Chains A and B, each alone.
Chain A
Amino acid sequence: MGIIVMNKCKRYLRLYRVLVSQFLKTIMQSKVDFLMGLFGFFFSQIIGIAFLYLVFQQIPSLQGWTLDQLIFIYGFAQIPRGIDHLFTDNIWLVAWRLVVNGDFDRYMLRPMNIFFQVIAEKLQPDAMGELLVGVILVVRSLTRGVLIVDGPHVVLFFVSIFAGALIYTSIKLFFAGLAFWIKISGPFLQVAYQMSDFAKYPTEIYARGIRFLITWVIPFAFVAYLPASFFLKAGTSAMIIGIECGIAVLFWCIAYAVFERGTHVYESAGN
C-alpha cells in the first residue's frame, strides 16, 4: 500500500516537472510579459505599504496595534497568498472559461487527476511580487524585534503559511467548482477572493458582520491576521494555528468534494 502511494507521488512529481517546464518554455517566449507582470505586482505592493504609512501619519496606532506590528501582519498575509497565487492560478480559468466553452474536456480525457492537471498547467510568476514583499516585510519585522522567535514559533510559522495557502486554494476551488452548475462562476470567485483584502489588517477595525464573514464563512482572517497575531508579542495562544489547520483541512475537503462532484455534472459544450 505504502509503496503504491509512493510510486504515485513520484509519478505525479515527475509529471508536474514535465508539465511545468513546458509552461515555462511557453512563457519564456514572451519575456516582456513576464517582467511586466512581476513589476506590476511589485508596484501594487509598494502602493499598499505606502498606504499603511500614510494612515499612520494621522493615527499612531490602530486598535492598539503599532505600525511595526501592522506591517508584519500585512507582510505575513502576502506569503500564503503568494504561494497559492504562484501554484494554482489556473483555477480562475475554470471559473471563467474552461467549463463554459468546453475546453475542460481535455482534462477529462487524460489519465491523471483532474485537479492536478488544472494546477500543473500554469505557474503565475506575478506571484513573485507578493512573495518578495512578504519575505522582505517579515525579515524587517524580525530586525524590529516585534516577533517571538523560538523553536515552536518558527515551526508553526511554516505550518501556518502552508495552511493559509491551502485555505486560499480551497476558497478558489470551491467557487470555481460552482461553474459546473452555473457555467461561469468567475464573478462569484472574484467577490470571494477580494474578501482576502480585508485580512491584511486587524479584523477588529471592521463591523461585526464583516468580521464574522471573513472569520467563519470565507475564512480569510485565518490566513493572515489571526495567525499573525500569534507570532507577534500579543499573547495569542498556539491554538489559533491549530484552528487554522482545522479550517484549512475542512475547507479543502468541502471544496474538493464540490469540484469532484462538479466533474460528474459537467456538460461540456456543443461543437
Chain B
Amino acid sequence: MIKVDHISKDFISPKKYPGLKGAVKGLFSSEKTVKTAVDDISFTIQKGEIVGYIGSNGAGKSTTIKMMTGILTPTRGECTVAGIDPNKRRKENAQNIGVVFGQRTQLWWDLPLSESFTILKEIYNVSDDDYAERMEFLNRVLELQEFFDRPVRTLSLGQRMRADLGAALLHNPKVLYLDEPTIGLDLVVKDNIREAIKEINEKYQTTVILTTHDIGDIEELCSRIIIIDEGKKIYDGSLTELKDIYGTKREVSMEIKQPEKVKELHFARLFGVEEEDCRSEFDKENSVLCVTFDKHKIQAPQVLSAVMDVAEVTDVQIQETELAEIVREIYHHGVIER
C-alpha cells in the first residue's frame, strides 16, 4: 500500500550568527546550513496494517508523514501511496488519504460541525448512499451526534479530535495518517479514540500510520512499529520482538519477614551468572527485596525459591520492563544492535 524508497529531506536555512553583530553579518553572508530532517528512510507497509511511527521530538516523524501525504517534496528518493506518487499527483493522492494532525483541525472553525461534513462530502465527491452509510458508522464509533450541531470552536479537545477523525474518514480513505491523535486527551477519551481506530481498521481494512509519544497508543493499536532517531530509521519490526531484544530485564519484588537472613544470599554467584545480570537491593525500610535480572538467563521462580528457602515471603510482584522505558533507552542510546 505504501512504499517509501530511500527518501531524505533537507531543510536549508541561512546560517545564523549570535548577537546583533551576528544578525548584521548574517544579512551579508551567503552561508547556508543544511539540516537533514529525514535521512535515507525506506519501508513498505501492507494494506490493513497499523504502524506506529515513533521517535523523539524533532526526530523527523512529522517530516516523513508530510512527505507521504504530499505536503512536502522529498529532497531525494521517492514514495508511492496506493501506487501514486503524492508529490507528482497530489490531488489523486489526496482523494486516497485521510489526515488528522492532533494540534491542528481541518474543520471549519466557526461553523457547526454538520456544515464541515456537508462541505467535505462535496470536496471528496461522496455519493449520498456512501455518505449515509459512513455517517451511520462514524456516529456509532465516534458518537458525533452529541455535538453535531455545535460550532467547532465550542467543542472540547476530545470532541474535536473525534470530529476530526470522523472528517478524515468520511471519504473512506485507503490510508489514514494520524499525527499525535491522542495528545492532551484524558484516559477515557483516549480509549474511545483507540477503539474507534481499531474498528475502522477492521471494518474497512484502512491502513493506519500513527505517530505518537503515547506508549499506550502503540501497545493498544500497533502490530508493527518503526522507530526513527535523528532522521534515521533505527528499528522496524513487531512490538514483541522489540520487547524481546530490549526488554530483557525483569524485576521481582518480595516482601520478606526475616530480611537479615536473605542479606547473606549472593544471587549472581548462586545462579552462576555475571554480576550485572542479577542485582539485588533492599528498600529503605529493609522489608522489600528487589531483584533485577536478565530473563533469558534466569527464571523468576528460581529467584523466588532461592529466597523462600531461607526466609518467609509474604508478598510477590513481578514486573516486565515497560515499553516506555525501552523507548526512552533507545532515544538515549540511539541505534539498536540487531
Residues of A that sit less than 8 Å from B by CB: 11, 14-15, 18-19, 22, 25-26, 29, 102-103, 105-106, 108-113, 264-268, 270-271
Q: A15-B123, A22-B115, A25-B111 are in contact. Are A111 and B71 (CB under 8 A)?
A: no
Taking a contact as CB atoms under 8 Å apart, the answer to whether B119 and A22 are in contact is yes
Chain A positions within 8 Å of B71 at CB level = 105, 108-109, 266, 268
- A60–B92 Cα distance when bound, in Å, is 62
Chain B positions within 8 Å of A25 at CB level = 111, 115
In the complex, how many angstroms separate the beta carbon of B299 from the nearest chain A beta carbon? 44
Taking a contact as CB atoms under 8 Å apart, the answer to whether A271 and B70 are in contact is no
Residues of B that sit less than 8 Å from A by CB: 11, 58, 62, 66, 69-73, 87, 90-92, 94-95, 97, 99, 101, 103-104, 106, 108, 110-111, 115, 118-119, 122-125, 179-180
- A15–B111 Cα distance when bound, in Å, is 17
- A270–B180 Cα distance when bound, in Å, is 13
- A14–B125 Cα distance when bound, in Å, is 11
Taking a contact as CB atoms under 8 Å apart, the answer to whether B91 and A106 are in contact is no
- A167–B331 Cα distance when bound, in Å, is 53
20 contacts between A and B (CB under 8 A): A14-B122, A22-B111, A22-B115, A103-B104, A108-B69, A108-B70, A109-B69, A109-B71, A109-B94, A110-B94, A111-B92, A111-B123, A112-B123, A266-B71, A268-B66, A268-B72, A270-B62, A271-B101, A271-B103, A271-B179
- A105–B122 Cα distance when bound, in Å, is 20
Taking a contact as CB atoms under 8 Å apart, the answer to whether A109 and B70 are in contact is yes
Chain A residue at minimal CB-CB distance from B168 = A109
Chain B positions within 8 Å of A15 at CB level = 122-123
Taking a contact as CB atoms under 8 Å apart, the answer to whether B124 and A111 are in contact is yes
Taking a contact as CB atoms under 8 Å apart, the answer to whether A264 and B115 are in contact is no
Chain A positions within 8 Å of B111 at CB level = 22, 25-26
Q: Residue among A18, A102, A264, A267 with the most chain B CB within 10 A? A: A267
Chain A positions within 8 Å of B101 at CB level = 105, 271
In the complex, how many angstroms separate the beta carbon of A24 from the nearest chain B beta carbon? 11
